[in-house]
Amino acid sequence: YYLAANPVKTVADVCIALYGLAFKPDVDDLRESPALGIAKVLAQSHPSTVLAVEPYIADLSGIAFDGLALTNLENAMLEADIHGLLVDHSVFKLAQPPSGIIVDTRGMWATQN
């Protein structure tokens, strides 16, 4: 869909950002996180690095796969073409929804004006 609407871009040009990797909102625990599983599949299948915003984690050195880069909220919202909200951290609710395609699995940005 996105590529059809933006014919000058290739799949590798599309920037994907994921918001939240933790097991539940407002914690730093990645154990058994469904969001981390989604991030892994995307990072391993997308030809470019996938951006991850996880405000409660300082680095991803404990992650056992490549293709995922930690960034801050502002950078992800500016750089990404496609945004996936995976965990409803409070800081995301306070932010204006980004422009571009939003996949809001938490219903947080969908209800904001």
Are the CB atoms for 50 and 42 separated by under 8 Å?
yes
Domains of the chain by residue range:
2-104
pLDDT for residue 94: 93
More confident residue, 9 or 105: 105
pLDDT in tens, 1-29: 676 777 777 888 899 999 999 999 999 99
Task: Report residue 111's pLDDT band, with 50, 70 and 90 as the boundaries.
Answer: low
Torsion angles phi and psi, residue 53, rounded to 5: -110, 115
Whether the pLDDT of residue 113 is over 60: the answer is no
The total of other beta-carbon atoms located within 10 Å of residue 70's CB is 16
**Rounded to whole angstroms, how far apart are CA atoms 105 and 79?**
20
pTM of the model: 0.89
The CATH architecture annotation of domain 2-104 reads 3-Layer(aba) Sandwich (3.40)
Strands (E), the chain: 16-19, 50-53, 68-70, 82-85, 101-104
The total of other beta-carbon atoms located within 10 Å of residue 19's CB is 32
pLDDT in tens, 60-100: 877 768 899 999 999 999 999 999 999 999 999 999 999 99
